[in-house]
Structure 1
Amino acid sequence: MSAAPAHAVDPAELERLRTEVRGRVLLPGDAGYDEARLPWNRSVDQRPAAVVEPADVADVQTVLRIARAAGAGVTTQPNGHGADGALEGVVVIRPVAFDELVVDEQARLVRIGAGVNWGRVLAALDGTGLIALAGSNPEVNAVALAIGGGHSMFSRKYGLTARSIIAVELVDAAGEVRHVTDADDPELIWALRGGGGLFGVVTAIELALYPGDRLFGGGLLFPIAHAEAVLEAAIELSRDEPELGLDLGLMRFPDAPMVPPPLRGQTVATVSLVHIGDEASGRRFAERLLAVAEPIADTLAPFTIGGLAAVAAEPVDPMPVADFGSALDLTAEGFPRAFVEAFLAGAEAGLGRASVRAMGGAIVEELGAGQSAVGAIGAAGLLSSGVVLFDPAIDVEASLRPLRELAAAFPAEGTVPTFLGGGSTLADAYGPEVLERLAAVKRRVDPEGVIRSNRPLG
């Protein structure tokens, strides 16, 4: 993240936050500051000029006014899953008080406050027969994922999450409260659909909901000896069934007591799938994978939208992580073997997981793609990988280098910003034309560059 130099910030001005903001304010040196400044990713040592939990929209306006006067930037960080910078000279807003959540079944939309995580949204949708284009982790913030592009296991059927944004409520850099839709500012909402938090402090969004009364899916784990054949079968399935949600990958479990004995210290191939439909048709898809090898574990079952997070079963507790993401051509000849070889090489140095989310379907074909910055993405797959840094002796570069080489050997164009790893900018996701258009919107709504983001333009 780009940030104003620390010496440019007037600390006396920031002291006014204590008396003029009704919500919680923590400045460096305060009791509780060191805990409040921590992002979800504990490997990021961010030290912002202040951490503020605004009580309401008026508080947000006050924070922006005081930050401008102090020469500080402002960024919104609900949980810190995408934290990626030291944040000197930046005021961090934690929008915990913006906890509104309203499901309108008749209009097929959900209104979500900026402090709400996906787990709450999914629980609220249970029993409605409707689904949102949710992320795979219940502790990920719903607004942050949506404005950052957002890929869901439902995206091959209904498109990327950003494209389902109907309206955004925000406070802009000048302190003006705005309700942004296609009707009143089509260029700004285009930018908000994938441009992230660069354009204001978002307080709520409205997302479209989609039919999904019957769901089937879960995860399969296979012995590493069958990894290449399993991955090949999963890739072929992704080609044949463009609406089926698929995530295929590799994982090395630590040899630790918290891991079940059959998996302790094991390296496995993984396939997660989500089918919008009945169990019978979903199992027919799964049989194509089960015919290749017998799984070590099988959690496939019918489920409701409230149980979506169990499909990926991702970690929810904060931890130190180094990550890497990239677009990949997983359909290229030789990819399954190269993926396995790259992962095993990285695992010897500490790599714990690497997975590829299948793209295609509505992600590339949806007619409404032109109304969002994230656009139509032609890449066949998106890589996500991580090294957990509990052991300080882990060599991060050696762990991730084989995957960087894999991405170079099987390149693809276009990605979703929420899949980018640390140190990335929007220039790693978008081409020059989109970046210039985003920059033009930024100049119009925030000419002084007060609003900062985890993903700057470049």
Structure 2
Amino acid sequence: MTDATTALEALRSRLTGRLLLPDDADYDAARSPWNLAVEQRPAAVAFPADVADVQAIVLAAAEAGLGVTTQPNGHGAAGDLDGVVLVRPTAFDEVSVDVPARVLRVGAGVNWGAALQALEGSGLIGLAGSNPEVNVVGLAINGGHSMFSRLHGLTARSIAALELVDASGAVRRVTGLDDDDEQGRELIWALRGGGAAGFGVITAIELELFPGEALFGGGLVFDAEHAKLVIAAALALGRDVPDLGLDVGMMQFPDLPVMPPHLRGRTVATVSLVHVGDEATGRGYADRVLAVAEPIANALTPFTIGELAAVAAEPTDPMPTADFGASLGSDDDAFVAEFVEAFLAGASHGLTRAGMRPVGGATADALGADLAAVGAVSAPLVLNTGVLLAGPGVDPEAALQPLRDLAARHPGGGGIPSMLGPGPLALAYRPEALERLAAVKGSVDPGGLFRGNRAISG
């Protein structure tokens, strides 16, 4: 038995929660990430029951020469985690809404689906992800692009406070409001967008909320023959209405019995929109896209904040994928033609989806940039693509290469970590921001105990 194993066995006996080691029956299920194509074998998987458990895990790992990383439900996994204790904070499940203060408080194990249900009837909205299984903390500290971001900014900018256990095992509440706490101000700056570099084990987060009594939106699906016209119309709409949430792209549906009959085996263009306001105005925006082609499916509807995930209708089950993301510097009609051709070229090798979100609006607002590592986004679009690694004839590198080439021809510069797929924070941030992030990391975690899923550079 190694010294590390001995230390972990001793830790297990002290925890109120669970600690699973590689020989335990539940270890394989516990270590599995959201992206099933990623293989990770941590030294142990910890399910702390409370903050005292987190402190014990951090101190024991440091003493044993192990690292610590956090994955609430497996999103963002990027490495093998050799010599690392993987923390699953699923027991941290508190959810509360302070309506007068317009603040959402959740534990580190809470996903956006539960948070949105808590907001139901409040008249308030949070800068949520479009998938209910995405973790609230994970999205926020990675920048976080919401369908409400063009109106209210990136999710990271809405972080009001965080509670965490630092590398010394101390419990900290960080707001950035204490004039005497320079390290705290730097730490919350780093966590607002650069948190995936690893600065501690977060146990709770508080986010600013915004008015949102009336909501309208949903998805439109068109045959691929109309893709250029539909996507061009949607991007033109986005330029004209900078606070409208939009996701525009293409999908190739597998020819599988589980697929809806009208979509099975088809390649389609997709437009999703979210409008904060009345139905008549929202339908007027959608009519600009509907005027250029007849949709295969039209799911536009008034909805409440608790129904946001159903409006987005994204897959919610873990699956093996290969992903790529980038900022794009063009959004004109000539670019749209290139995008459609690149998708179709990738689809012949198994490319499953490619979505582009117009940025601009509040995401391009430089005000308050010094309060968050994620700054104003100057590119007009961010791209996220994926290949479902299932079935014959799927070649992920060949599938993604046409879109990699497209991004290289139309570089946007910078971006939002949560939208850029795997890779270092250098893909998203300017050198001066990376230097500042490295300085914060060196200040609060000088021994490099916490292993983030994104390196600061590289």
Q: TM-score, normalised by structure 1?
A: 0.97
Percentage identity across aligned positions?
Answer: 63
1:3 is matched with none
1:443 is matched with 442
2:203 is matched with 203
1:216 is matched with 216
1:17 is matched with 11
Between stretches 342-351 and 178-187, larger displacement belongs to 178-187
Q: Note the residue ranges of structure 2 that are not aligned, 5 or more in a row.
A: 179-183
Between stretches 161-170 and 391-400, larger displacement belongs to 391-400
Q: Please give the alpha-carbon distance, in whole angstroms, between the structure 2 residues aligned to 1:384 and 1:178.
A: 35
Decide which of 162, 171, 186 is 1:168's aligned counterpart: 162
1:414-429 matched pairs, under 5 angstroms: 414-422=414-422, 424-429=423-428
Letter in 2 for 1:391: G
Tell me the secondary structure at the aligned position of residue 194 of structure 2.
coil
Q: Deviations over 1:222-246 (max 9, x none)?
A: 1111100111111110100000000
Are 2:241 and 1:241 equivalent residues in the alignment? yes
2:371 is matched with 371
Q: Deviations over 1:404-446 (max 9, x none)?
A: 0010111101111111223x01111111100000010001100
Cα distance change of structure 1 residues 90 and 220 upon mapping to structure 2, 3 Å threshold: same
Between stretches 123-132 and 383-392, larger displacement belongs to 383-392
1:278-297 matched pairs, under 5 angstroms: 278-297=278-297
Quick check: 2:232–2:333 contact (8 Å CA) kept in 1? no
Are 2:90 and 1:93 equivalent residues in the alignment? no
Tell me the secondary structure at the aligned position of residue 408 of structure 1.
helix
CA positional deviation for 1:333: 5.1
Q: Deviations over 1:68-116 (max 9, x none)?
A: 1111000010011211110000000000110011100010001010000
Q: Please give the alpha-carbon distance, in whole angstroms, between the structure 1 residues aligned to 2:132 and 2:305.
A: 12
Are 2:311 and 1:317 equivalent residues in the alignment? no
Are 2:155 and 1:146 equivalent residues in the alignment? no
Are 2:63 and 1:49 equivalent residues in the alignment? no
Decide which of 165, 183, 188 is 2:177's aligned counterpart: 183
CA positional deviation for 1:332: 4.2
CA positional deviation for 1:263: 1.1
Q: Note the residue ranges of structure 1 that are not aligned, 5 or more in a row.
A: 1-6
Q: Deviations over 1:158-206 (max 9, x none)?
A: 0000000000100001101000012132111100100124111000010
Between stretches 358-367 and 133-142, larger displacement belongs to 358-367
1:266 is matched with 266
1:433 is matched with 432
CA positional deviation for 1:400: 0.5
Letter in 2 for 1:322: A
Q: TM-score, normalised by structure 2?
A: 0.97
1:155 is matched with 149
Quick check: 1:235–1:331 contact (8 Å CA) kept in 2? yes
Q: Please give the alpha-carbon distance, in whole angstroms, between the structure 2 residues aligned to 1:9 and 1:257.
A: 51
Between stretches 13-22 and 165-174, larger displacement belongs to 13-22
Q: Please give the alpha-carbon distance, in whole angstroms, between the structure 2 residues aligned to 1:391 and 1:61.
A: 44
1:407-418 matched pairs, under 5 angstroms: 407-418=407-418
Quick check: 1:9–1:89 contact (8 Å CA) kept in 2? no
Quick check: 1:219–1:300 contact (8 Å CA) kept in 2? yes
CA positional deviation for 1:10: 2.5
Q: Please give the alpha-carbon distance, in whole angstroms, between the structure 2 residues aligned to 1:425 and 1:385.
A: 17
Quick check: 1:78–1:96 contact (8 Å CA) kept in 2? yes
Q: Please give the alpha-carbon distance, in whole angstroms, between the structure 2 residues aligned to 1:65 and 1:245.
A: 44
* Aligned-residue CA RMSD (Å): 1.3
Cα distance change of structure 1 residues 222 and 333 upon mapping to structure 2, 3 Å threshold: closer
